[in-house]
Amino acid sequence: MQILNGLQLGSIYALVALGYTMVYGIILLLNFAHGDIIMVGGYLSWIVMARLGLNPALAVLLSVVGCMLLGVLIDKIAYAPLREAPRLSILITAIGVSYFLENGAQLVFGADAKVVPAFGDFGTVSVGGANLSVTALIIVAVTIVSTVVLTFLVQKTKFGKAMRAVSEDMGAARLMGINVNNTISFTFAVGSALAGIGAVLYCMAYPQVSPTMGIMLGTKAFVAAVLGGIGSIPGAVIGGFVVGFAEVGASALGLSVWQDAVVFLLLIIVLVVRPTGLLGRPMTEKV
């Protein structure tokens, strides 16, 4: 049972970490507003189901599309004008966008947590005498499918080739006729769509939303991306599962109060032993 709990939690972290690692892989930006995009996706699900009483399938669709559009809008308004600015400037802007979304949500929805209605009565399934949560199985399956689709998108499609070209050398990609701004916006769209999926899965597992829910979720997903090697898709997934199992393991050992500390201690150990992460590539800089 604890294994399934670790897979469920790790799957959520993995999806969020994929959004971090995609954006960083293209423009070397740590998009600290990514966790708050997930928060917006959670509120969209709550509005559709709790306030409007509409079908959960519509809530899933609106959350994913809404997060995708929000990610592109943030890129166009906040990040695109700073493409040539020092990296610190765009990092500070990302933090500012994060605070803007958090405080905006608190102003609109209030500071209290909202209960998200169930997406469905999935129940449990018996496997080998153990009752397993179907919700947890769905979360793990969706994460696996999303990772496979994302890998295919990056490795086999025209947009994916453009993304990899921009990641390797933005100037050379521009000279080869690639529209760099459109490629970056597409990357934000895909990463934010993953955030929308992550928001739905998070609300399925932990059915409540609050303005600050994205802070710790985004931070731990960032830890997962760094653990796996930020910029690496399989690394983000592996890092997500490592963080998920670390938290569940700490709780199983009676250290639930210290589970956050365990995650960050794990990050420190990995950075000391292997600074590039488990699957990260050493970065070289031309002089």
Report whether 111 contacts 210 (CB < 8 A).
yes
With 0-12 / 13-18 / 19 or more C-beta atoms within 10 angstroms meaning exposed / middle / buried, residue 192 is buried
Report whether 46 contacts 209 (CB < 8 A).
yes
Cα 37 from Cα 20, distance rounded (Å): 12
CATH of domain 2-119+132-273: 1.10.3470
* Three-class DSSP category at 86: coil
Question: How many Cβ atoms are within 10 Å of 202's Cβ, its own excluded?
Answer: 27
Question: How many Cβ atoms are within 10 Å of 114's Cβ, its own excluded?
Answer: 17
Dihedral angle computed from the Cα positions of residues 200, 204, 210 and 216, in that order, rounded to the nearest 10 degrees: -80
DSSP-H helix ranges across the chain = 2-27, 34-46, 56-74, 87-109, 134-156, 158-168, 170-175, 180-205, 213-228, 233-252, 259-273
DSSP character string of 150-169: HHHHHHHSHHHHHHHHHHH-
pTM of the model: 0.88
Question: How many Cβ atoms are within 10 Å of 128's Cβ, its own excluded?
Answer: 5
Q: Could you tell me how far CA 268 lies from the centroid of its own chain?
A: 21
Q: Residue 116 gets which letter from DSSP? A: P
- In the chain, what is the straight-line distance between the N-terminal and C-terminal CA atoms, in Å? 53
Domain boundaries, the chain: 2-119+132-273
Q: Please give the pLDDT value at position 197.
A: 92
Closest CA to 45 of 98, 142, 118, 110: 118
Closest CA to 210 of 116, 83, 85: 116
Residue 264 makes CB contacts below 8 A (sequence gap 6+) with 223
Q: Please give the pLDDT value at position 3.
A: 82
**Residues in the chain, pLDDT under 70:** 1, 128-130, 280-287
Q: Which pairs with CB-CB distance under 8 Å and at least 24 residues apart come from 281-285?
A: 281/229, 281/231, 281/232
